[in-house]
Amino acid sequence: MKTNRVGIKKKAIVLGCAAIVGLFACACNSQAQTPGETPYKRVLGADLLITNATIVTMDGERHIFENGYVWVREGKIVSVGPTSELQMGYPKGFYKVIIDAKGKLVLPGLINGHTHAAMTLLRGLKDDVTLDEWLTKYIFPAEARNVNEEYVRWGTRLAALEMIRGGTTTFVDMYYFEDAVAQETKAAGMRGVLGETFIDFPAPDNKTNAAMLSYGEQFLKKWRGDPLIHAAVAPHSIYICSEKTLRDAFALARKYQAPILIHVAETKKEFDDSLAKNHLSPVAYLQSLGLLGADVVAAHCVWVDESDRKLLAAAQTGCVHNPSSNMMLASGVAHVPEMLAAGVRVGLGTDGPAGSNNDLDMVEEMDLAAKLQKISKMDPRALGAKEALEMATIEGARAIHMENEIGSLEPGKKADLIILGLDAPHSVPLYDVYSQTVYALKAGDIETAVIAGRVVFRNGRVLTLNERAIIAKAREYGKKVQASLK
Amino acid sequence: MKTNRVGIKKKAIVLGCAAIVGLFACACNSQAQTPGETPYKRVLGADLLITNATIVTMDGERHIFENGYVWVREGKIVSVGPTSELQMGYPKGFYKVIIDAKGKLVLPGLINGHTHAAMTLLRGLKDDVTLDEWLTKYIFPAEARNVNEEYVRWGTRLAALEMIRGGTTTFVDMYYFEDAVAQETKAAGMRGVLGETFIDFPAPDNKTNAAMLSYGEQFLKKWRGDPLIHAAVAPHSIYICSEKTLRDAFALARKYQAPILIHVAETKKEFDDSLAKNHLSPVAYLQSLGLLGADVVAAHCVWVDESDRKLLAAAQTGCVHNPSSNMMLASGVAHVPEMLAAGVRVGLGTDGPAGSNNDLDMVEEMDLAAKLQKISKMDPRALGAKEALEMATIEGARAIHMENEIGSLEPGKKADLIILGLDAPHSVPLYDVYSQTVYALKAGDIETAVIAGRVVFRNGRVLTLNERAIIAKAREYGKKVQASLK
């Protein structure tokens, strides 16, 4: 055991400060040893070690370790580096889980910066119609007749299942019954920034603004300090919320230092209406109310101009680009390269999986983000694979103001990561890991997902959810929704 | 046995003429019975019966059978209909293969209308650069230093593997050593329209135009009448082929009634150059030479105007839209809805998987085709899921002039079909089968592929190819190519 301690110490020095900090933390913990556990498991043990993989860190220097390891302890990354630096003299049982990921790819878990998870149950209900027809004839009636807490639970479970399988480890949600969403997200072992929706008409959960505020406050209080759930407030948009509703929602969020989620400048109509009504663009209007800030996550931001970009960058407001949704609903093309150049934080999202996507596939979203910019600018250099992957990881983390916790594989960060197989016909040969990930690999190549150090997906099974029951229930809801529209 | 005969006859009447014709054909065959075979296997037997599935026929009336069957005999479809019409009184061994596809989806095999299969070996070699830099610094040097017959064989094998897994049963190819491509395509059990490339500089295979013509003629002769391989002539484009080369290539093809494959109006530069040089658009230039026709498959057709569309429709020339490639290389957006409205035959293709996609995934291509039109026209109705699926099946067949043989599940057509699982989280609930297929399902959902009645993919394995050897070889070529560019 002494040798092991020395071994660890020697390695810790090689691996830098974070590992050393980890070691000291362990030493303290040794006092609280559980009876029956081998001491070194508590003292020096790691929860998870992934070895022999290509590690794409997305850290500040964008290090890629061709044969690297990730060492995880108590939900956090202890260190990352070349496997050769690991001194493999430990007894096998030293790590609770060792994954030999030879020939595989390890990436930070993907961050879906904007969705409405429970809308999975309306996936493909109606497509290829105008936004207005889609909303008024299908989505609103279907929601009015079907959405209740139980529905939201099952819809969130289905979404979590699809997202985990697709490599998403953190998602940002705006819906109703958000406390149920939070419970189901936590049960699925996912990380969520979950916003209870504020609108100026009766919602499926809360029928008045007072009820929304009360529900919202309770929701924020309940989840304060939770390691996985970040309770948020989600005033829908400047066109569905009055100035008062916006101010109330923002004030509530800021009272609890909670994130604020809002749709901003999604459509030309929203932009034109804001100009007409407020004599300001949607972004400038929010700014004029003092509502832009480093706690805001603004979904879409399609219709923003140069001065809007300056406001967004200065306020450190996060923007979330949703290429699939913007294409599907013909909302417009966000000026992503210009936003990035202006210093705006830009993440990536799928939007809801009903009528505006229709899935929760962040790997496809990266591919689409790059290709959409190229064709819009008529320049293949407009947005590249590396930038697209950044938007789904470290830039996405910045957009949702969690860049100190997630988005890259670095010592001290939450251990949210995914492992992709590289043995499919579409995965070979491999010349450039960014290109391959964005333009060739598929969500289906994801073999393992780890969230907060916990393996939630492995060997074809999501370990936190009852897949069969969820899919059966989704089919049941599908029939119910269809019948409700007849 | 008598009962069976009667049973079949009764059903044959229900199922219509095709089945009756099939029955008579069988009766004749009974003379040539192989010793040891049970007579009814030869006389009345079917090779394959798929039951209990949702059958999306893509026939003239776009019939969908919610619980349907497809009956295949000797590589062709005998009949398609509701499973309830089947009289299940036959002995089990009657069909060589019975697939109970309960809860699954059966579609016509997808048609990849334009690719360069062997370029799989350059997948992702370099992306996110201008077309010029990509070609001159990477693709041309890599091809010059690496492409030989053996390389083309392995590249085609890799492509076939990826395509079969992704539901493509027919592909249209333009490359070098096309006889090797044909051999490998046939060995993979795929259907191919395979064009030997004609260019005005020395190709990796043929160094002079005379050599190209001689190779081309031998190639066409060799494969005449083959059930899977349609040998074609592929003059690259009006900008890489002189008028003489074009005329020679077309004359050769027409001498043998072979298809002609050509890139047409892919980039603005091609369009502008043609205007400057020929005072005609690329399409009008081909027309002026008498080279448009019902035997031509024109890839891309991005830069075509209204009068070009009229020419293409009148000539019954097929066009193949490649949304992924057009986005990736920033070539422009083809006017697909206008082409369809003008009566042009429009199929769908992936283009080569190096730098312009980077995969051979026709399911993604459908999704992209619809979304690209919606955003370009700023109208979510611009191109729908049904139209996208048509372009990958029956319209695609029309575009490559094979609509009498493939593209739909109808009596008398070649039995090229795919079976998709519907049990993944992203597959439920299912409201609309076209929407689901195009916007939610993935190539990875394809579980079975049948080409000419032969099961080539099933239970996760491509039965015609050595997957492990191909992937290992692709990695080897990847290293070789990379080294060759240093």
pLDDT value for B97? 79
Residue A246 CA: distances (Å) to CA of A263, A408, B52: 12, 33, 53
Contact A429 B380 (CB under 8 A): no
Which residue on chain A is closest to B128 by alpha carbon?
A: A381
Q: Which of A319-328, A351-360, B189-198, B248-257 has the lowest mean pLDDT?
A: A351-360
Q: What percent of chain A has pLDDT over 70?
A: 89
Q: Could you tell me the two tokens for B404?
A: 């009498």
Quote the DSSP letter at residue B139: I
Rounded to whole angstroms, how far apart are CA atoms B348 and B334? 11
Average pLDDT over residues A184-193: 98
Rounded to whole angstroms, how far apart are CA atoms A458 and A466? 14
pLDDT value for A23? 32
Give me the amino acid identity at A486.
K
pLDDT value for A185? 98
Q: Could you tell me the two tokens for B121?
A: 């070996």
- Among the partner-chain residues A326, A375, A431, the one whose CB lies closest to the CB of B482 is A431
Mutation for B interface: A54, A438, A439, most B CBs within 10 A? A439
Q: Which residues of B touch A368 (CB under 8 A)?
A: 368, 371
Mutation for A interface: B54, B132, B428, most A CBs within 10 A? B428
Average pLDDT over residues A85-89: 65
Contact A375 B330 (CB under 8 A): yes
Please name the helix (run of DSSP H) or strand (run of DSSP E) that holds residue B347, with its range, or none. strand B345-348
Q: Which residues of A touch B271 (CB under 8 A)?
A: none
Residue A298 CA: distances (Å) to CA of A258, A361, B103, B186, B263: 14, 20, 40, 53, 43
Average pLDDT over residues A18-43: 34
3-state secondary structure of A73: strand
Contact B330 A374 (CB under 8 A): yes
pLDDT value for B319? 98
Rounded to whole angstroms, how far apart are CA atoms A198 and A206? 9
- Among the partner-chain residues B360, B384, B425, the one whose CB lies closest to the CB of A471 is B425
pLDDT value for A355? 83
What is the tens place of the pLDDT at every residue in B385-435? Answer: 999 999 999 999 999 999 999 999 999 999 999 999 999 999 999 999 999
Which residue on chain A is closest to B127 by alpha carbon?
A: A435
| Per-residue confidence band for B94, with pLDDT thresholds at 50, 70 and 90 | low
pLDDT value for B311? 98
Highest mean pLDDT out of A188-197, B16-25, B28-37, B199-208: A188-197
Q: Which residues of A touch B444 (CB under 8 A)?
A: 442, 444
Rounded to a whole number of angstroms, the distance from the CA of A87 to the nearest CA of chain B is 30
Contact A126 B432 (CB under 8 A): yes
- Among the partner-chain residues A124, A165, A372, the one whose CB lies closest to the CB of B435 is A124
ipTM, interface predicted TM-score of the complex: 0.91
Burial class (CB in 10 A: 0-12, 13-18, 19+), B102: exposed
What is the tens place of the pLDDT at every residue in A412-421? Answer: 999 999 999 9
| Per-residue confidence band for B452, with pLDDT thresholds at 50, 70 and 90 | very high
pLDDT value for A45? 52
- Evaluate if residue B444 carries a pLDDT over 60: yes
Q: Which of A85-99, A200-214, A418-432, B269-283 has the lowest mean pLDDT?
A: A85-99
What is the tens place of the pLDDT at every residue in A137-181? Answer: 999 999 999 999 999 999 999 999 999 999 999 999 999 999 999
What is the tens place of the pLDDT at every residue in B109-141? Answer: 999 999 999 999 999 999 999 988 998 999 999
| Per-residue confidence band for A5, with pLDDT thresholds at 50, 70 and 90 | very low
Q: Which residues of A touch B467 (CB under 8 A)?
A: 425
- Evaluate if residue A238 carries a pLDDT over 80: yes
Across the A:B interface, residue pairs with CB atoms under 8 Å apart total 221
Rounded to whole angstroms, how far apart are CA atoms B201 and B203? 6
What is the tens place of the pLDDT at every residue in B291-347? Answer: 999 999 999 999 999 999 999 999 999 999 999 999 999 999 999 999 999 999 999
Mutation for B interface: A123, A156, A372, most B CBs within 10 A? A123
3-state secondary structure of B393: coil
| Per-residue confidence band for A480, with pLDDT thresholds at 50, 70 and 90 | very high
Quote the DSSP letter at residue B53: E
| Per-residue confidence band for A16, with pLDDT thresholds at 50, 70 and 90 | very low
| Per-residue confidence band for B37, with pLDDT thresholds at 50, 70 and 90 | very low
Rounded to a whole number of angstroms, the distance from the CA of B169 to the nearest CA of chain A is 16
- Among the partner-chain residues B324, B429, B440, the one whose CB lies closest to the CB of A359 is B440
Q: Which residues of A touch B165 (CB under 8 A)?
A: 424-425
Contact B330 A125 (CB under 8 A): no
pLDDT value for B14? 34
Closest CA to A204 of A236, A175, A245: A175
What is the tens place of the pLDDT at every residue in B49-77? Answer: 999 999 999 999 999 999 999 999 999 99
**DSSP class per residue in A409-453:** --TTSB--EEEE---SGGG-S-S-HHHIIIII--GGGEEEEEETT
- Evaluate if residue B29 carries a pLDDT over 50: no
Contact A330 B380 (CB under 8 A): yes
Q: What percent of chain B has pLDDT over 90?
A: 85
Rounded to whole angstroms, how far apart are CA atoms A68 and A81? 5
pLDDT value for B288? 98
Q: Which residues of B touch A138 (CB under 8 A)?
A: none
What is the tens place of the pLDDT at every residue in A379-388? Answer: 999 999 999 9
- Evaluate if residue A6 carries a pLDDT over 60: no
What is the tens place of the pLDDT at every residue in B462-476? Answer: 999 999 999 999 999
Rounded to whole angstroms, how far apart are CA atoms A66 and A99? 16
Contact A478 B382 (CB under 8 A): no
Mutation for B interface: A121, A125, A128, A464, most B CBs within 10 A? A128
Q: How far is Cα of residue A482 from the mean position of the Cα atoms in its chain? A: 30
Rounded to whole angstroms, how far apart are CA atoms B390 and B384? 10
- Among the partner-chain residues A329, A382, A440, the one whose CB lies closest to the CB of B124 is A440
Q: What percent of chain A has pLDDT over 90?
A: 85
Instruction: Provide the whole-model pTM.
Output: 0.91
- Among the partner-chain residues B328, B353, B375, the one whose CB lies closest to the CB of A326 is B375
- Evaluate if residue B12 carries a pLDDT over 50: no
- Evaluate if residue A46 carries a pLDDT over 90: no
pLDDT value for B132? 87
Average pLDDT over residues A462-480: 98
Q: Could you tell me the two tokens for B134?
A: 């990509």
Rounded to whole angstroms, how far apart are CA atoms B33 and B25? 13
Contact B442 A444 (CB under 8 A): yes
pLDDT value for A86? 77
Mutation for A interface: B325, B366, B371, B445, most A CBs within 10 A? B371
pLDDT value for B26? 33
| Chain mean pLDDT for chain A | 90
Rounded to a whole number of angstroms, the distance from the CA of A427 to the nearest CA of chain B is 9
pLDDT value for A14? 34
Average pLDDT over residues A188-211: 96
- Evaluate if residue A88 carries a pLDDT over 60: no
Check residues A418 and A135 and name the one with the higher pLDDT.
A418
